[in-house]
């Protein structure tokens, strides 16, 4: 499998094709197009940042959800492991693989009270792109797609949102989908690392606020 002569561009193209095949028909909002959007948005955010290693950035963006813990019995190492296996098969340098593993390990939101540990610019950019795809119009659509895929209620006024202080508590939660807006999505704009991420998050945040207002008004037959 080892190919000594692949260019970085070829490695990225091969990775995209591999993910497209694996995740084309995933229906929880973690499909190939999520990976594609995070990749595109990461490149956009990177334009305004300096000293970004674009090869690491692009691969981390594409591979960040290759084996999410939510779909692997809570196993947080499934993602880094799957990314390593794929990148080793392409002969990618071990230092680059380690960096990508670290990004995948730390990118996931782990609860309102849990700080995100990402200290490289590549990790911070992929984080912001991933969280931007969780908010705004696409974020709303993905959230209901996820809730449906997990058999969750859309909304139950009697079940209140919780702000989780540990990853364990966040992981085990199975509340209605509307609660996810309060438990995660509305918190994301204040957790952006990059300047571009902060600017883009603001508009997407406002769209969610408007959506929720409309949702409650319609729920009560007030519109």
Structure tokens at 95: 């230092």
Q: What HEC string does the chain produce?
A: CCCCCCCHHHHHHHHHHHHHHHHCCCCCCCCHHHHHHHHHHHHHHHCCCCCCCHHHHHHHHHHCCCCCHHHCCCCCCHHHHHHHHHHHHCCCCHHHHHHHHHHHHHHCCCCCCCCCCCCCHHHHHHHHHHHHCCCHHHHHHHHHHHHHHCCCCCCCCCCCCCCCCCHHHHHCCCCCHHHHHHHCHHHHHHHCCCHHHHHHHHHHHHHHHHHHHHHHHHHCCCC
Minimum CB separation from Ni ion for residue 130, in Å? 4
Number of residues that bind ligand ADP (CB under 6 A): 14
Q: 41 near 133, Cβ under 8 Å?
A: yes
Does position 32 interact with ligand ADP (CB under 6 A)? The reply is: no
Question: Binds 109, which of Ni ion, ligand ADP, none (CB < 5 to 8 A, cut-off by type)?
Answer: ligand ADP
User: What is the smallest separation between the CB atom of 8 and ligand ADP, expressed in angstroms?
Assistant: 25
Binding partner of residue 122 among Ni ion, ligand ADP, none, CB under 5 to 8 Å per kind? none
Restricting to residues 173-202, which ones interact with ligand ADP according to CB under 6 A? 177, 180
CB 84 within 8 A of CB 15: no
- Under a CB-based contact definition with an 8 Å cutoff, are residues 19 and 11 in contact? no
Residues within window 38-97 making contact with ligand ADP, judged by CB under 6 A: 68, 70
Whose Cβ is closer to ligand ADP: residue 8's or residue 173's?
173
C-beta closer to Ni ion: residue 46 or 103: 103
**Which x/- pattern, by CB under 6 A, does the window 11-30 give for ligand ADP?**
------------------x-
In the complex with ligand ADP, the residue whose CB is nearer, 11 or 30, is: 30
- Closest CB 66 distance from ligand ADP, rounded Å: 12
Site for ligand ADP in 112-141 (CB under 6 A): 130, 134, 139
Count of residues near Ni ion by CB under 5 A: 2
Selected binder of ligand ADP within 39, 86, 146, 193 (CB under 6 A): 146
Smallest distance from ligand ADP to CB 143, Å: 4
The residue count for the chain: 223
Query: Where on the chain is the footprint of ligand ADP (CB under 6 A)?
Result: 29, 68, 70, 108-109, 130, 134, 139, 142-143, 146-147, 177, 180
């Amino acid at each position: 499998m080892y190919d000594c002569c692949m260019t970085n561009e070829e490695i990225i193209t091969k990775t995209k094709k591999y993910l497209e095949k694996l995740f084309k028909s995933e229906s929880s909002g973690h499909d190939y197009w999520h990976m594609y959007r995070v990749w595109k948005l990461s490149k956009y955010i990177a334009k305004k940042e300096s000293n970004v290693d674009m090869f690491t950035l692009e691969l981390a963006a594409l591979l960040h959800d290759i084996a999410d813990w939510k779909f692997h019995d809570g196993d947080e190492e499934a993602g880094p492991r799957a990314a390593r296996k794929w990148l080793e098969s392409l002969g990618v340098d071990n230092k680059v693989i380690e960096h990508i593993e670290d990004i995948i390990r730390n990118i996931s939101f782990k609860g309102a009270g849990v700080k995100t540990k990402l200290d490289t610019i590549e990790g911070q950019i992929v984080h912001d792109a991933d969280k931007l795809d969780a908010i705004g119009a696409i974020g709303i659509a993905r959230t209901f797609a996820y809730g449906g895929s997990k058999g969750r209620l859309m909304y139950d006024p009697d079940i209140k949102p919780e702000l989780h202080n540990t990853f364990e508590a966040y992981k085990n939660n199975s509340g209605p989908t509307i609660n996810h807006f309060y438990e995660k999505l509305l918190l994301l704009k204040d957790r952006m690392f990059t300047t571009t991420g902060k600017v883009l998050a603001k508009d997407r945040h406002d769209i969610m606020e408007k959506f929720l207002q409309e949702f409650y008004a319609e729920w009560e037959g007030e519109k």
